[in-house]
Amino acid sequence: MKKLFLIPMAVCWLYVYSMIVVLILILLAILGSVFVPNNVLTNLLSTLATLSDAGFVGLIIVVISIGQYYLAYRLYIYFKTKAFT
């Protein structure tokens, strides 16, 4: 029965680490703009400016978009302890 916790654990792990890969790729694109011109940093800053102009709704969106990965990470840890203890 404990092995059933491995499925949601794997889903949460994939979800968290897919976002980590996306963040690393964004960072590499920003750093790579020294050699190859791109608009990654400009687009990222304009997205943050748009969310800050939205006021409370923008704050809610930022909290939800960051919090969902934190929640997935905590669920991964929870399912991991349930599966292996």
pLDDT, one tens digit per residue, over 43-82 is 999 999 999 999 999 999 999 999 999 999 999 999 999 9
DSSP state of 1: -
Q: Tell me the whole-structure pTM to 2 decimals.
A: 0.82
pLDDT in tens, 3-58: 899 999 999 999 999 999 999 999 999 999 999 999 999 999 999 999 999 999 99
Give the total residue count for the chain: 85
State residue 56's pLDDT score. Answer: 95
Q: Closest by alpha carbon to 61, among 74, 78, 48? A: 48
Q: How far is CA 6 from CA 13, 19, 80, in A?
A: 10, 20, 7
